[in-house]
Every structure is written in C-alpha cells, then in structure tokens.
Copies of this chain bind each other. A is one copy, B any other.
Amino acid sequence: MRYLEEKMVVLSKLAANGRAKSGKNNSSVCFVSGSGEFSGVNKIAAKVRKDVERVTGALPNQVEWSESGKVSGASDAESFVIFGTVGKSAIISALAEKRIINLDNVKGKREVYSFTVVKQSDIPGLEKPALIIAGSDKRGTIYGLFHISELLGVSPLVDWAGVLPAHKDRIVLTEKDNFVSKEPSVKYRGFFINDEWPAFGNWTMHNYGGFNAKMYEHVFELLLRMKGNYLWPAMWSARFSEDGPGLLNAELADEYGVIMGASHHEPCCRNGEEYKYLRGKDSIYGDAWNFRANREGITRFWEDGLKRSGKFESVITVGMRGEADTAILGKNATLKDNIDLLRDVLKTQNGLIKKYVNADLDKVPRMLALYKEVEPYFYGDKDTKGLMGDPELDGVTLMLCEDNHGHLRTVPTEEMRNHKGGYGMYYHFDYHGWPYSYEWTNTTSLPEVKEQMCAAYEFGIRELWIVNVGDIFSNEFPLSYFLNLAYDYEKYSDLDYTTEQYTKEWTDFQFASLKKSERSLIASVLTRYTKLARMRRTECIKPDTFHPVNFGESDMILAEAEKIIADVEKLNRALKKRIVPESLYAGFYSQVYFPAAGTMNVLRLQLTSGKNRWYAEHSILAANPLCAKIRKYLEFDKSLVRELDTVDGGRWYAMGWSEHIGFQNWNEEDNQLPVEVKTAGANKPRIVVWLDGDSSVSIGQDWTRRILRLNAFRNPEVSEVYLNIATASALPFKFEIKTNKKWISFDTTKGEVSPKNLLQKVAVRINRKLLAKDGNKDETPYIGVFGVNESAPKTLVPIEVDVRPLCDASLPKGELPAGTFVQTGDYISIEAEHFVRNVAANGAAFKVLPGYGKTLSAIKAFPVTAWFPTAAQTENAPNAPKARASAENSSHAPFVEYAFALDEAGSMNFDFYLSPLNPVSKKNLLQFVAEVNGAKILKDVVPPTFAVGDDQQPWGDDIANNIRISTVTAQCKAGLNILRVYPVTPAFVLEKIVIHAENKPMPYSYLGAPETYRTPKN
C-alpha cells in the first residue's frame, strides 16, 4: 500500500500485493476518458494501452466517465490514467472545476497538453493516484497520450516498423513527470508518400489489398506518434478519397486528427488520379485537364471535391499544374499567360472554398506550392509582375520548395516574411527526377537536413514542413529528426546537440532492449553509412565515380563500406539468434541492416568494378578475381531484396524493389549493372608498378619507362608507404628491389608475381634517424624495381624519393602558427574546420557543422540569414571589387583564417569545396571573399544565369557530385601564407580547400584530395 501514499502512478502487471494480475486487462492501471471525448482520442488511448502491454505484459482496461459520475470496470485498478480534451471531455472539465488540474497554459493553445500526476483525482470512484492528461485540442490530447508511450520507452516506430520496446515490470510516474508541453514550432508537420511504385504500391497491395484505411491506420499512427500532424497521401495510382474504400481514408484521418493535404498539383481535395477515372467525352467533368478549354468541367471537378472532402480537417491545395508533374500550359505560352491563368484559377478556387467549406477564407488553411515552374509565376520577371502580393493569395500558405535534392531555393526576403498565410517548405528524402532519382533506401544526411531546415526556419518558413519520404520504408530515421526539429526547433536546432548525439539517443531509445555495445554499434553504423551513402546517392554511383587509385580513395571507401557491412552482419547474426520473430528484429532489419548493408554493398560493387576496369585497362591480372566479387556483390544485392520480402512474415514485402544500381538516366530505365572485365595479360612477362594513392604506373621497359615519384615521406607523419607490383601476364616475373640509401628499407627485397601471387604489396619504410645522418644529401635517393628474369623484357622501374626538408625547417622557430598546413607534396588540402583563427564581427561568426558534407565537416556563418556585402572592402582599398553584391547590410563580416606554408612562390589555385546550395534570393547571388596575404578576392560561386531544374548545369552536376568547387587564383609566397575566408551571402557552406599550383591540375578523385599535413597543436 506504499504506492498510495505518494503521488505516483504505476503501470505494471503486478497488483499491489506483488502478484501478477491475470486475465485480459490485467494491468494495475486503468485508463479513463470522459464522455464527449473525440472518438479518435479514445482510439489512440487504446494504442497507448497496447504499448503498456508491450512493455509490461499487462493490458490496462479503459472506462468512460460521464457527468453522471458513473464508472464501471475501474474498481480493481490501483491507479488511473485520465485523459481528455479541453472543451470536449466531461472529466477534464470536472477536474479543472475541482482545481485538480490547472488548464491556464493549455486552454486556447495549439496541440498542447498538460501531464499531471496527482495523489488522487478527487473524482468519485477514481480516488486513487492518477495521471491526468489534458489536451488543448484533439492532437494535444493524442500527443499527451503518446507521451506515456515515450516514457515507457516505446518507439514511435513500434507499430509501423516493429521496433518493440524493452520489457519492464513496472513503470512509475510521479509528479516529477508533470509538465505542460510547448506549442509545436512549426504548425503543419508531416510527410508525403510518393514515388510509390514499385515498392510501397506492391507492399500495400500485398499486405492490405490497396491504398486503403487498413494501411493508412498504420501511417496515421506513425505520423502521430512522431508528433506530426499533416500528411500527403500516395498519389501516383491512388485516390485517397476513394480508396478507403470510399471516404474511409479521409474519415479515419479526420477522426485521428491527421490534417490531410494533397501534393502540390492536386487542388481542392482532389487527387490527380481521380480525374483520370472521371474524365471522358460524356463526363460532367469534361475530358481535358485544361482550365482554358474545359473551365466548366474542371470547376465542377473541384466543386465536387470540396463538397465531398471540405468537411475534413485539411490544408487545401490551391493552384493548378499540368498532369503528372508537368507545367500547365504548353511551351509556347508566355510567362504572363501562365500567371493570368493561375490567378484565374485561384479566384475560382477561393470562390468555391468560400461556398463549400467556409465563408471566412481565413479559417481555411490553404496552400499554394511554388514548385518547379510555379515559382517563376510567383516572382514574375522584370517585364511581368508575378503573383506575389496578389489578393487571391492573401492567407494562403506559400509553399517554397527545395531543389528536390535537399537544398532550399529562394527563401522569403525580409519584406516577404509578413505574408499572411506564412510559408511552407517541401523537402525530399526521396526523389524521382533529374539529374537522378533516389528512391531505394535511406541516403539522407542528418547534418544536411539540419543545416537546411534550420535555415528555412530562420528565414521564416514556419507554417508548414512536409517531406517526401518515398515509400516511408527506411526513411523513418531521418523523418524522426525532421519531425522532431519541426516540433521542437529550439532543442533540435542547437549546434551543440549534434546529429551524431541525436543518432545515439535515437538508437538507444529504439533499441533499448539491446546490449549497450550493440546500441553503440548501431548508432555508429547509422552515422557512418549515411555519411558514405550521401557522398553520392546509391543510384548514380558508377564504376568510375571514385578513383580506383588516386589518393587511395577507392581503398579507403571500400574499407569503410566493408567494415560497415561486417558490423551489421555481426549484429544481424547476433540478433537473429537471440530475438524471436515478430519482435525487434524487424525494426533492426528495416532501420539498420537493410539500408546499411544494401547501400554499402552497392558502393563496394561499384568500387570493385572500378578497380576491375582499371586493372584490366593495364592488363593487370588482378582484375580477374574481382569478376567473382562483382558477381557475388550483385547476388548479395538480389538476395537482400528477396530476403526483405520475407522478413517478419512479409512486413516489408516489395519495399526493396526499386532499381538502384548504375543509373544511366535520371531514372532506372537503361540502368547498367557493372560488367566483369577479364584480361589475359600480355604475351610476355610484364609487371605494372605503382605507389599507393598515385595512378602513375610504370612497366619499366626501355622505351616507355616512366619514373615514379615518392614524396609521401616529406610528410613527417608518414613512415611507411606501399609499392604495388602486379603481374600483367600469366608468366612468372621475378623482381628485386634496391635503393641507394640506407635509410630506405623494405619489408621484402625480392619476390615473384605470377598467377599465384598476382599483386605484391611492398612496404617501403623510412628511418629518419639514419636520414638525418646521410652525408650525401646531393645524391637523388631512388628505389629501383628490377626484373631478374631470363626471358622477360628488360625491366627497371625507377622511383625517385623526395625527402627534401619542409619549408618550415628553414623558418625561425615559432614563425608558423600551430595548425599551419605545410606543403609536403604537390598540393595542400585543408578541412574547413581546421582554421587557425575564427574571428567574429558584430555578433556574426563562423561555426562548425559537425559531420556535414562529403569528408570531415563544414563551416558556416551565423546568423544564417545575414548578408555581408562589405566583406570585400578593405580600409586600404575602398574601391575593392563589388561585383554583383548589393548592400543589404553594412556590418563588417566575420572570417576564418588558415595558415599554410609553400615550398615555392607561385600562382596558386584555391579550390573551395562548397556544399552545392542555391542562392537564397532571386538576385541569384552566392558569394564569398577569399583573402590571400591581405589581398581580397570577391568570388561569385554561381554565374548570373544559374538556375535549378531539369537539364540545368552546373546545378545538375553539382547536385550529383554533392559538391560545388569554386576556384580562386592568387599569388603566394614561399613559406608562410595566410588565407582568410569571409561570407558575403547566406548559403555559403565550406567543406574543404585544396591549394595547388595554377598550372598543375589535381589528379581526379571524387572527394578531392584528403587533408594534408599540418603542424601539431602546441
């Protein structure tokens, strides 16, 4: 009886006497709703009770309290969970009246709930400890209920993905858990099921028989558990308002408080597919999706849509696009034609909405998507006024869209931010279109989502956030983050709360029942695989994307991909053994194993194919065993997709069916699986020799001999380098390795390559102590790989070794700042976060975005909305270049400073590796300033003609490469040089800087040269 003495609610299977209760509703707690409550709320309560059972093994009973005061079935409960919606629930009214609960911070709020544990409710028949959840509205109560699940450790994915919670015998809630929730940061928060064939479509046909309410029941639950409230249903072959069957989908959504929208081209509660079914020669809707030619039919089509669905809670799409994601008028229409047409459409639609939904248009959430071709209709051009500020758009939420690949396009300027109706953002975790589609499995980077969605919020886009999640499957993880950020912007936008930390916490929560080491490994896998997968989307990786040799790129990525696969295989084996079917395994499989193993397998497949080709191109026989690997990886891919069909009894059937290898076009058609290339080698004994990281090869024969150059030892941190000796014929080849220097040694000095030993890697080592004592510094150090064969062509591969002292050796001690990048080879490569100084100005400063981008991280100036048009000006040079920058703001600019030291003076290229973000305004400006030894250079990152869209370059290539390289050329000195980087416009996110002589282009690699040597921190 101890429990009753405190403010404490226990969710447990045990009765107060410590014995397990028996029977169906065998929990010690009883849920209580009030009469008048929303039916949807009660349905959600049932899901939460199920969660209690999932965790404790005991299913709580639920009873209804009415003003009559009678409750039945609650007598044996030891505590209560009382829930209800303010203004709807009789019991909440009663509790408030009795001042058991205080609704001051709840009433009138949006989607807010209070969570109050009381010693006893003071309600007759319920005089026991109670948790009282009072929601400000339907979703407030629902979120309050799901907050119980959260406290129970139940994942929002529990129903959708089978991510089952850890068992606990009892959960105790006390007044420490009391709180009042906040209003969500973003008003409409949701996702869009899209590109649903072949995966989602076949999945729902197979598991539910259609796009019906049986399926949507699960989708709605997923959305609400994630504290979302807004959904765009599947729309390519589905008709949400017809497939329920009938209105069942829409009715169920409304009951649950799920606000329905329709995608950007489906106005007035009509699905695009609907018209296809209803149109025809004799149709009352006519037979043309054309507001000019078939105004009457189209208007009636909309009218009937609003009549049918206007009663449900919706954000009604307005505007009009062509069918199937195309422009509304043909190619010959002028901008003005289009704008006039769209205005006419809006006027018509607003009229219909007034008539059939609500005469007060302000009460009707409406949305116009500024997607693709609609965007210019909104902005107009210099000759044609756009729809911006048009009375028909008053109160309409303007949905701005990113570029389908995760990068915001224009954002509201300060003057635009007051638009009544506010702004929305349509974001993508999945896309079907140019320059490439990404639909198979999650390749989203949380740091990138965070950076862009925070920017969106800061620029005032707070009314509506929707994200295209494709088939949902495997995108639940980034979706969690997206909806968390939308719900509680302050918490999740914090730069100190890294996405890596988020990932750890997310993993710990989802997989609480696993061992700590397993959870930690899962979090690590999620962080690592998404990093690799986002370097380039799975679908558009090709055998030549990464370089098979240069900078060791291929080997490095291959090793990481293999490690991730090994990690998830290990987890998979362990979990498969331990966990019974229908349990957490489905969650692990869908959220971790499948996307990580799947994407990393495609990556290793393409990397292996690239290596296979490179070897074969040089007649290197090591190409041949890679053919079997290519086959194996292709087979692994197929088996993975087949396995997914059967996991957890077919829970994910068809979800892996999207093509995902070797896209030649933006879509899967004509995709090319890697081929196997086999070489017979040369007729005579031959070797091919190269150094790790450098694709210069030498076969060492007289006429074509190439001297290889080894300069890696100039880097004081490198003491071992690998030499590759590969046979390029089926005949054995004996070699010996010699050097003229005692301080160079090898792990082997002779050997034989042959079909039995295709490739010999030889470690070359340096002894720096002996080097220091070398009395003959003028003699060029060299290594020779000599053929020692009776009948092979005479072979000698010469390797010159560069161990010249670094330029800092001749500088006075302490002249170089700690962290100076000192040249050791042909170039210097700097990760953006490795500046030596970070100087703020007027409250603005660069900050590091951890984990962002293709390599280490990135930096970006905050506040993110700030412009620094005067950054290029210097005191000494008042007439410094202004280029296309116009002064919106005259504050001084912050900067970061990098120190680097060169062997020789010369004209150097600075390749700035930038995130391929888009200019934030119609001015099309994206600028920064590079200052080299005091001389400022204002750089336009994109040309004035820059545009986003199908067939637009350089945008398309940058998007595919996930980088935009912007090069500045400047004269440098021998020895120390200082580079400062200033932001000018927003959307300047810097990942890396590569410095090399202007006349010495960098060898190809996908990631750019890896970071080079810098002096240690003092």
Contacts and interface: CB of A to CB of B under 8 A. Distances in A.
Interface of A: 616-619, 623, 627, 631, 634, 638, 659, 661, 665, 667, 669-673, 675-684, 699, 701-704, 793
Nearest to A728: B670
Contacts of A673: 619, 679-683
8 contacts: A619-B672, A631-B680, A667-B704, A669-B704, A669-B793, A670-B701, A673-B683, A675-B679
A679 B609 CA distance: 12
Contacts of A701: 669-670
B619 A678 contact: no
A308 to B, nearest CB: 31
A634 B677 CA distance: 16
Given A617-B672, A667-B703, A673-B619, A659 B684 contact: yes
A665 B623 CA distance: 22
A671 B619 CA distance: 9
B672 A702 contact: no
Contacts of A670: 699, 701, 704
Given A672-B682, A673-B680, A673-B682, 11 more contacts: A618-B672, A619-B673, A627-B678, A659-B684, A665-B704, A669-B703, A669-B704, A670-B701, A672-B679, A677-B678, A678-B678
A681 B702 CA distance: 42
A623 B678 CA distance: 13
A661 B681 CA distance: 12
Contacts of A619: 672-673
B671 A682 contact: yes
Contacts of A681: 673
Copy number in this complex? 2
Contacts of A678: 627, 675-678
Nearest to A665: B704
Contacts of A616: 675
A701 B667 CA distance: 11
Nearest to A660: B683
A910 B967 CA distance: 42
A412 to B, nearest CB: 34
A548 to B, nearest CB: 15
Residue with the highest number of chain B CB atoms closer than 10 Å, among A634, A678, A793: A678
A834 B619 CA distance: 46
- For the complex of A and B, list the 6 residue pairs with the smallest distance between their C-beta atoms, beginning with the closest: A669-B704, A676-B678, A669-B701, A616-B675, A675-B679, A675-B677
Contacts of A675: 616, 623, 677-680
Contact of A677 (B677, B680, B702, B703): B677
A526 B1014 CA distance: 69
Contacts of A667: 703-704
A657 B681 CA distance: 17
A680 B627 contact: no
Contact of A676 (B659, B677, B684): B677
A202 to B, nearest CB: 11
A947 to B, nearest CB: 22
Given A675-B616, A677-B677, A678-B678, A669 B699 contact: yes
A617 B613 CA distance: 13
Contacts of A634: 680
Nearest to A699: B670
A684 B661 CA distance: 12
Contacts of A665: 703-704
Nearest to A729: B673
A684 B704 CA distance: 46
A669 B680 CA distance: 16
Nearest to A641: B683
Nearest to A432: B703
Contacts of A679: 672-673, 675-676
Contacts of A677: 675-678
Contacts of A683: 638, 659, 661, 673
A975 B667 CA distance: 44
Nearest to A684: B659
Contacts of A638: 683
A675 B672 CA distance: 19
A587 B945 CA distance: 72
A326 to B, nearest CB: 13
A750 to B, nearest CB: 23
Nearest to A615: B675
Given A616-B675, A675-B677, A677-B675, A702 B669 contact: yes
A518 B121 CA distance: 116
Residue with the highest number of chain B CB atoms closer than 10 Å, among A617, A669, A671, A703: A669
Contacts of A704: 665, 667, 669-670
Contacts of A617: 672
A623 B616 CA distance: 17
A549 to B, nearest CB: 17
A675 B683 CA distance: 13
A699 B668 CA distance: 12
Contacts of A669: 699, 701-704, 793
A634 B623 CA distance: 18
Contacts of A627: 678
A638 B731 CA distance: 14
A323 to B, nearest CB: 14
Nearest to A661: B683
A666 to B, nearest CB: 8
A789 to B, nearest CB: 15
A395 B129 CA distance: 128
A741 B661 CA distance: 40
Contacts of A703: 665, 667, 669
Contacts of A659: 683-684
A736 B855 CA distance: 51
A863 B661 CA distance: 64
A145 to B, nearest CB: 44
A665 B677 CA distance: 22
Contacts of A682: 671-673
Nearest to A700: B669
A672 B623 CA distance: 14
Contacts of A672: 617-619, 679, 682
A290 B995 CA distance: 46
Nearest to A704: B669
A329 B616 CA distance: 41
A667 B671 CA distance: 38
A677 to B, nearest CB: 5
Nearest to A616: B675
